[in-house]
Amino acid sequence: MDVQRKKGILEVCVLAVLKQGPSYGYLIIQELEQCVEISESTLYPILKRLEQNGSLTTYREEYNGRMRKYYQLTAEGQKKIDCFLSEWDELRRMYHFIDQQNSKMPQEPSVTTEKTVPAAETIAGSTVETTNAVEAAAEATKEAAKTSETAAEAMKEAAKAESQAKATEEAAVLGTQDMEHSENASQEGVEA
């Protein structure tokens, strides 16, 4: 957790303990252990700040022959608790929004295919196969995202389908080049 955010929340936690009545350092630490682990070196600077800003007051009382410092909540301290609780409703809404957005599956990028005019009908069939393979890759991506337990598995499936589509497309391009080479050779033979 962010240090500044935690510091502010710890201050309110200390004030909440004092809402039950005056207390001293060791007992405050014991009460706070229900929600957070805190040391004396963290608590006493917080108590000092709260005293300086008027959120609590202190007094000393003798206990077993020595003076013990007690901390007591003030009206200003109660206002801080009330303010925190009202702000927390807004933070809770933000948290739920972030959580919902984070749990949504990312939208798939749209798959576009370029239409090419082939040199021969055989190549046209390869282009259709390529388009179908790309569309199948997109469909496999959708299905993988729905059925896979994790996003990583879905991405592996999509990558595999995409790789197959690229291989089919490369084969079609090579077929186009071979076909054009054959047509050029035929035309050269006719001209000679």
Q: Which residues span the domain enclosing 156? A: 121-191
For residue range 89-112, list pLDDT tens digits in order: 888 999 999 999 999 887 776 665
Asked if residue 181 and residue 155 are part of one domain, the reply reads yes
- Is 116 within a domain? no
The answer to whether residue 14 scores a pLDDT higher than 50 is yes
Asked if residue 98 and residue 25 are part of one domain, the reply reads yes
The proportion of the chain whose per-residue pLDDT surpasses 90, expressed as a percent, equals 45
Mean pLDDT value across residues 54-73: 96
Mean pLDDT value across residues 73-83: 96
- Is 64 within a domain? yes
Q: Tell me the C-alpha distance between 69 and 140, whole Å.
A: 69
Asked if residue 71 and residue 133 are part of one domain, the reply reads no
User: Which pLDDT belongs to residue 99?
Assistant: 92
Kindly report the pTM of this predicted structure: 0.51
Asked if residue 155 and residue 99 are part of one domain, the reply reads no
- Is 112 within a domain? no
Mean pLDDT value across residues 114-132: 51
Q: Could you tell me which residue, 77 or 129, shows the higher pLDDT?
A: 77
Domain's final residue, options 103, 136, 165: 103
* Burial class of residue 114, CB neighbours in 10 A (0-12, 13-18, 19+): exposed
- Is 99 within a domain? yes
- Is 108 within a domain? no
Asked if residue 87 and residue 147 are part of one domain, the reply reads no
The answer to whether residue 158 scores a pLDDT higher than 80 is no
Average of per-residue pLDDT values in the chain: 74
User: Which pLDDT belongs to residue 55?
Assistant: 97
Mean pLDDT value across residues 126-130: 50
Which element (helix H / strand E) includes 5? Answer: helix 3-18
Asked if residue 85 and residue 147 are part of one domain, the reply reads no
Asked if residue 75 and residue 167 are part of one domain, the reply reads no
Q: Which of 19-23, 83-87, 122-126, 149-153 has the highest mean pLDDT?
A: 19-23
Q: Tell me the C-alpha distance between 64 and 68, whole Å.
A: 9
User: Which pLDDT belongs to residue 88?
Assistant: 86
- Is 114 within a domain? no
The total number of structural domains that make up the chain:
2
Q: Tell me the C-alpha distance between 154 and 93, whole Å.
A: 30
